[in-house]
Amino acid sequence: MNTNKLQVFVFAMLFVVGAFTGCVDEDDDDKTTTDNTIKIGFLNPITGPLEPDAPGFKWGADQAISDLAKMYPNETFELVELDSGCSGDVAGPAAQTLVDSGVVAVVGAACSGASMSANAVLAAAGIPMISYASTNPGLSDEAKYPHFYRNVPSDAIQGPAGAAMMADAGVTNESLAILHMTNDYGSGLADSIKAAWEEDGKLCSAGMQGYEETTTNFDAMVANVTDASDCNAVYLSSYITDAAGILEALAEAGFTGHVFGGDGPAGIGLFDKLTDNATAVNFTVSAPRAGTTYGDFESRYDGNASTVGSIKTYVLTAYDATMIIGKAAMTDGTIVAGIESVGTNYEGASGIINFLPNGDIGGNGYDFCTYGGDDAAGTYTCSKFWTAENGVESA
């Protein structure tokens, strides 16, 4: 080959390689995908124990995507939804799919165990996540769960709130039994409730009993409660489907005491899982209390509540988490820095949001809500609330 031609060929190839190398370097720290679409991952419990609530969570996130599109008309926002299964076994692989899809950050997961597994995958890829519903106290460990944020309070706070709820309702020392799922959410909340209750009292002889989240027959466990004459109240650390099953089993066994629960079964969606709405009468739950709401999203939800259903608190937080990520993607610098910047004094539908250094928020206390109604109609009324500063107050 002619030497001059060879030199021309070599210089041409070096120019091409250099050009492509420059493109790679420029894109390495870009927060958007190469087609200029800002992809936001969404881990939703489409299957599993929170399946009835999943459409409502998705509705909140979709509303945020629509609002972001109006706010930034020159940008394209896309929600990439995958099933978390409310399970670490499902959420981990789903998180990897989101990484491969080029998402800038992830909204979710809802269930604590799913968030834990997803975080292992996302954090390794440098992708942050904001959970709208995961409350396990262990997620506060920023060394173990880096780049993890949540705009709901830890169950370390819900424990004292739940104990106050039951004391205010007249539950006395040595009369309470705790029934709980053995997954990360169920065990974490149950431990927090037990610790708070036992600061001033003890459990009844049935004590604290655990069950797998897939359990569908609760007769034996309920019998342990109804056979103990000192057990006059029950606390359920559950999701919505198992809460309905336990409520029906207690009613069939003739239990006449007061039944309580946490945020897992909270919301009008419980009625969809009951064969008889009267089964839930006087069932009282605690749910994270929204602060002063900003914007019009809460009113949008209220106007569509009969069709959207789900757990209102977490529809609002799913909306806020999506909005925060979308706005963070529009800031200069990294997406993590953007989330921490946007998530400071953020005026959200669920109230003012301030992420702490470990990704937690302090919260605004808890609403105490009671179910009522009969076979024809069900009601869900939040008439009291609790804050760490002032205890129980009337709403």
pLDDT score at 374: 60
Q: Which amino acid is at 205?
A: S
- What is the chain's mean pLDDT, rounded? 91
Whether 382 is covered by a domain: the verdict is yes
Euclidean distance between CA atoms 377 and 374, whole angstroms: 6
Condensed to tens digits (0 to 9), the pLDDT of residues 318-337 reads 999 999 999 999 999 999 99
Q: Are residues 282 and 348 in the same domain?
A: no
Whether 8 is covered by a domain: the verdict is no
Q: Are residues 267 and 378 in the same domain?
A: yes
Q: Are residues 167 and 278 in the same domain?
A: yes
Tell me whether the omega of the peptide bond preceding residue 110 falls within 30 degrees of 0, making it cis: no
Which CATH number does the domain housing residue 62 bear? 3.40.50.2300
Boundaries of domain holding 327: 37-155+291-353
Q: What are phi and psi of 387, to 5 degrees?
A: -130, 155
Q: Are residues 42 and 180 in the same domain?
A: no
How many domains does the chain contain in total?
2
Condensed to tens digits (0 to 9), the pLDDT of residues 103-129 reads 999 999 999 999 999 999 999 999 999
Q: Are residues 146 and 274 in the same domain?
A: no
Q: Are residues 171 and 281 in the same domain?
A: yes
Q: What are phi and psi of 369, to 5 degrees?
A: -125, 140
Q: Are residues 280 and 388 in the same domain?
A: yes
pLDDT score at 2: 40
**Which of these, 98, 127, 81, 60, lies nearest to 322 by C-alpha position?**
60
Q: Are residues 340 and 277 in the same domain?
A: no
- The confidence band for 35, taking pLDDT boundaries of 50, 70 and 90, is low
pLDDT at 19 over 70: no
Whether 23 is covered by a domain: the verdict is no
Euclidean distance between CA atoms 388 and 367, whole angstroms: 12
pTM, 2 dp: 0.83
